Amino acid sequence: LKETDASRRCMDDNNYDKDMCTAYFLKYKNCRKFWHNIMIQRRRNGVKPEMPTAEERKKILESME
């Protein structure tokens, strides 16, 4: 959600010039890819729900720092 909002804000701030927001789009794309892979792994392992809860997502991100 944070990456989505940042991308939209960048587009608003730069008169919808996509070239000015490439970095934001890359962050958004990488974020989606990361969480999609987490969901696939959880599905394979039979973990429900497939998307981690907000608390689980926070722990996952903290473990990466």
Count, residues in the chain: 65
| Residue-wise pLDDT tens digits, 1-57 | 889 999 999 999 999 999 999 999 999 999 999 999 999 999 999 999 999 999 999
* Domain boundaries, given as residue ranges, for the chain: 2-63
How confident is the model at residue 5, as a pLDDT? 94
CA nearest to 9, candidates 31, 32, 25: 25
Are the C-beta atoms of residues 41 and 51 closer than 8 Å to each other? no
What pLDDT does 64 receive?
Answer: 87
Q: What is the rounded CA–CA span in Å between residue 12 and residue 34?
A: 26
Distance CA 26, CA 51 (A): 21
Q: Report the predicted TM-score, pTM, of the whole model to 2 decimal places.
A: 0.76
Q: How far is the C-alpha of 64 from the C-alpha of 45, rounded, in Å?
A: 21
Q: Please give the pLDDT value at position 1.
A: 84
Report the pLDDT value the prediction gives residue 65, as an integer from 0 to 100: 80
